[in-house]
Chain A
């Protein structure tokens, strides 16, 4: 049996005295797509950031491919991350944004890195924007560049923290389409999002968080049609209204 891609067992996380995560248990198998939702401040971002070590945890265990991660360990470049605010490097061109990691961290030659970058730009459908600065692109295009930048590191696992929340409505679908394709290609994905259409279509597992806890998790069918907890039902009725 292969190890799960992610295993979180009883993970606690504090900011000072404030407990942000309370005994988080979450298992993500290879190739599985998990969608996390929940009200603002419930700890969704913190879960994702603990997985790739942007945050440390204070108790419990986190394993990636069976390997326990530690605080001293470096941020893992085999875990891709896409942020709500894109976080593209504004002083570099799109192509340079994509080749920086492969050249500096993976040791590829510039030529190899550019071939790889153009391949993934093609994949997110903006090959023609390679030489522009990020500020000259639309929000949707910027987020697709950010996805391509992660893909250039050829990660085993991709984390998305509200990738469409900062976008104008008409640009959301172009980003979700790219993510859906990625899911169909078999990428292991953990996605924090309130895009429930996307979740229904793509998720293998839905996770609902509130106040630092996983309140409910299950298949999309069970989750959407028969939520067990009151809190979850309330949350769903609120976001599905819009």
Chain B
């Protein structure tokens, strides 16, 4: 919130600095052209949200599956977890995006599979996999923070591994995991901007295209930043609300 105020102040300040620097007409909703431009920019919002939500959902599922062997008593299972996490974590997002979008279809074809990867799914897969290394670590830490006695007690009343996770460990771990997981989601929303370079029509791509025709980068990118800011703030508020709800429900030991 404070950030938002600061940003608005900054904009206002620079706006009164000099009439020549800023040309707000390009996104002035009161003019026909400005309104069209604004609508064009905002129309990328749906894609950004869908991309982020899908990628986050996949990342959270894959992350859990990757985290579990990391909690095993067996060294072999733990190694599987370590290799995945260290490997995926060290690949920068942009090269991975190129590899998935341009490279993966070639591998598919070499197996005789004709699976085209469009910009949307390329971005979803890349963001999800790249992020899953981080969510896996979040799950692992969260689950490890639940005392060993809890899973032992669950086992002594006959629960198997999955039941122990489902009914005893995860419900308790979730409360501790939620804040870092929310951070990760915000991170995905911001990183989804990279999808623009493989041509996906999301917020950043729209802004780039408009800049090319209007040649007003300052105003257009300013609006772009505000768009992300609004998205992230909405997520933050939602998470805060969720945390309060879960926190008050379970004021346990």
Contacts and interface: CB of A to CB of B under 8 A. Distances in A.
A54 B156 contact: yes
Given A87-B153, A135-B251, 18 more contacts: A52-B156, A75-B158, A77-B157, A77-B158, A80-B156, A89-B150, A89-B168, A90-B250, A91-B171, A91-B172, A100-B167, A104-B163, A104-B167, A133-B252, A134-B252, A134-B253, A150-B156, A153-B158
Interface in B136-190: 147, 149-150, 152-160, 163, 167-168, 171-172
B253 A104 contact: no
A105 interface: yes
Given A81-B156, A153-B158, A90 B253 contact: yes
Nearest to B175: A91
B interface, how many residues as a size bin? 20 to 34
Interface of B: 147, 149-150, 152-160, 163, 167-168, 171-172, 250-253
Per DSSP, are chain B's interface residues mostly helix, strand or loop, or mixed? helix
Contact of A88 (B153, B158, B160, B167): B153
A105 B252 contact: no
A83 B150 CA distance: 11
Contacts of B152: 54, 81, 83, 87
A221 interface: no
Contacts, number: 73
Interface of A: 52, 54, 74-75, 77, 79-81, 83, 85, 87-91, 100-101, 104-106, 133-135, 146, 149-150, 152-153
Given A90-B252, A91-B250, A75 B150 contact: no
B153 A83 contact: yes
Given A90-B172, A90-B252, A91-B252, A149 B157 contact: yes
A95 to B, nearest CB: 14
B160 A83 contact: no
B252 A83 contact: no
B157 A135 contact: no
Given A87-B152, A89-B150, A100 B159 contact: yes
B163 A87 contact: no
A216 to B, nearest CB: 29
